Amino acid sequence: MTKHRLPEKPFMDDLIQLVGRWDFELLSEKSSSKSGNVPIGGHFREQLDFIETLARFKYVPYLNDELQDFPAKLWSWLEQFETGEEKKLAIRVASSITAFTEEQIRYLQEVCYKEKLVYRLLERIIARQKLPPYSYDRALGGFDEELQRCLVVPLTDSARYNQFVHVNDLENHSKLGLGTLDVFVHPDIRNTPQAVEKLRDRYKDKEVLVVIEDFCGSGRTFTSDLARLAELYDFETVYFCPYIITQRAESAIYRFARRYASRVSVEILFGLKLSERMRVFSPVSSLFSYEEKKALMTLCIKYHQQYFRSNRFIGTPRSYPFGYRDGQLLVVFQSNCPNHTLPIVWAHDNGWEPLFRRVQRYA
């Protein structure tokens, strides 16, 4: 991980002055007890310090742009909120963001493979050869053969298949994987039985399908393919390896697999799980107080109405003011921002300047 010098721009000074004034006002309000405003957690200077740390260590380069003036971006973003109370909430939002760098994603690719998938494959060898429990050292002898029974397939192009192969020292990987899962789900333009049969024949030696993906927010993309995979092909086991998954996506996938894909054994081997606590408005989340949650809901709905109503993923006819499929997250990746994050952070419709502009993958 590298450190970045933030540009010495007046925006940082402006921000410091602004939050200093808020902290002072909050202190005065507390002493006079006259405020009728929603109590928004104070210590704004501390929150700005936290944002500054992350800007230095993580936010640059966002979207591969090395020359970003994050304080300027933060300032312009804040300026769009209409009232002082909204701006305060926005600073709380910005300081509650969890960011993942490319290096972290690479490490999670290792976690999925080296800490999880390898052990599942060793357990298969142990079961096949009837070895004593945990005889990993003896099972290692059959590992390459077991790996050849696997087909590693990215769910979408953002899974970074080549990177997954490289960080995990997988040799002869050309025999391991292929383009994306779409090859199986849509083998040709009409999904003809002949095309399916051709694929079944080509991969008849593969018992295990390993599906890799960078982020799984709702489980929708994977489950929509899973039923078809289970119906058409003969894989014994499907290991789904998202580098990051949400708790609700994990539950949704297992629920779906039990109902619609019970013929195959499905297991999720994630790198990192975002718990329900990471969903902003969840009752178990402590990112914001109850009062702050209510105020933030109102704010998200207001700006969704004003700016994001026509967004293909979160706008009409599906209205998701709190992120795609009601994600309610505050998560950013260095390579992009998931649309499950609150739209005020990433959407750039109708002139809204987001803090972390999302580049849409699909046409």
Regarding 49 and contact with another protein (CB under 8 A), the answer is yes
Minimum gap (Å) between residue 132 Cβ and another protein: 8
CB-based contact 4:54 (threshold 8 Å): no
Q: In the complex with another protein, which residue's Cβ is closer, 138 or 220?
A: 138
Minimum gap (Å) between residue 116 Cβ and another protein: 10
The contact mask relative to another protein for 95-114 (x = CB under 8 A, - = no) is ---xx---xx--xx--x---
Site for another protein in 308-337 (CB under 8 A): 331
Q: Angle 267-99-152 (CA atoms, 0-180°, nearest 5)? A: 30
Distance CA 267, CA 264 (A): 10
The site for another protein, by CB under 8 A, has a size of 33
Helix (H) or strand (E) holding 52: helix 44-54
Regarding 122 and contact with another protein (CB under 8 A), the answer is yes
Kindly provide the residue ranges of all beta strands, DSSP E only, lying in 36-186, ordered along the sequence.
Answer: 98-100, 150-154
CA contacts within 13 A on the Cβ side of 116: 20
What's the maximum distance between 2 C-alpha atoms anywhere in the chain?
78
- Part of the chain binding another protein (CB under 8 A), chosen from 117-125, 189-197, 226-234, 334-342: 117-125
CB-based contact 235:208 (threshold 8 Å): yes
Regarding 54 and contact with another protein (CB under 8 A), the answer is yes
Regarding 275 and contact with another protein (CB under 8 A), the answer is yes
281: Cβ contacts below 8 Å, ≥ 6 apart: 293, 296, 297, 322, 328
Minimum gap (Å) between residue 166 Cβ and another protein: 16
Which one among 6, 118, 170, 227 touches another protein, defined by CB under 8 A?
118
User: Which chain residues interact with another protein by CB under 8 A?
Assistant: 1-3, 49-50, 53-54, 56-58, 98-99, 103-104, 107-108, 111, 115, 118-119, 122, 133-134, 136-137, 140, 271-272, 274-275, 277-278, 331
